[in-house]
Chains A and B, each alone.
Chain A
Amino acid sequence: MGEAVRIAIAGEGGQGVQSVAMILTEAAALDGKEFLYIPNFGVEQRGGVSIAFVQISDEKIGAPKFKTGDIVIALSDRAVRRMGMHVGSETLFIYDAGIKGIDDDLPKNAKKVMAIPALEKANKELHPRVFNVLIMGAVIGVTKVVTLEKAKEAIEKKLGYKFEQNPELRELNFKALERGYQLVAEMGVA
């Protein structure tokens, strides 16, 4: 069992955290890779922080749960506080720059902590609904676990039925993916 890239993405219900994980793992599958994805689901009622634990590797993956991720992404204030426990010395911790009042809650032990203006870019340049795809672009930019081409194929596979009715959505999603990818490159992380 080879070393897997371990990714944890956390946010509020409705931020599309689990769909990012689904598309990302779909892309990994299209790329011929192994993956293991486990959603952290709350009790039947809604309202908890939604977390997606994803591992991608060239080989079969071992245990489903990991303690600390290679990359941990938090998309809300609650998510920032919740994900501290999954941060270790090897972790790149990414959070949205728009989250307020969390300065004291940011992890101290991470390899690197960085804020990306994902929500702002999505709102201003694209559309709020593709915020999560922009995040996915950033994850791919940082980890290179899949290629952008496979990611687009996966988006097509998962959301193609929507694009048929509204072809503009396809462009919007692809742009968001690329924008996220660029964003981390511009920040020198990739």
Chain B
Amino acid sequence: MNPEKLPKRVLEAYIGEYASGKSENAVNRALDLAHLGRKVTLVDLDLVEPCYTLRPLKWKLEEEGVTVLAWDTGELIGLGETGNILKPEVRFCLRHPGDVILDIGYGSFGAQVLNLVEGAEEEQDLNVYAVINIARPMTGTVPDIVDHVRSLARVDGLINNSHLGEDTDLDFVKQGALIVKEAAAILGLPVVATSVMEELAPALRKTDWYGHPVRVIKRYLPQAFW
């Protein structure tokens, strides 16, 4: 991937409904940035399904130079089962120098979860990206995506992450790109990227059929088994 034109600090929050791929996108983004030699902090702000995502990957990500703000399961009693306790340092994550990537999960409150982060409201450079997979029943059509994104309180761009797991083919990704593009037009938002699994990446260029930048996704989360 060619280095895209990156701002001084990349401040991005990934939001999306259950199994949209928001965490996968956030993890890949953090690692890509770290591999460019940038200082990156990855923040677990998924308060609905927290322990199922970043916690188990923490050591691996840290090996690759990413600072991870997430509880270790062992730190909290009761969290094998549940676990929705905000780690105090998460509140001040935007004060970390360098890039900050937030996995903000999903839920009734959408991006309002950013209220828990000091300075989020004032921070001009923070972008919230909604990750969309048209294979998910609640974001399958243009009107559904529009409704969904509007319910999230604050979104600055969409990411087409349409996939069918192992069965994904290019046609499906293309179909997703089109639907997401149309939804974005109605919402007045940019499509920030189309994400594809690394197996399909060789068939694509830097941009997809509609000119959206392509991001290559390596799968890390199957390893995430609390």
Direct contact between A and B judged by beta carbons closer than 8 A: no
Q: Which residues of B contact A (CB under 8 A)?
A: none
Q: Which residues of A contact B (CB under 8 A)?
A: none
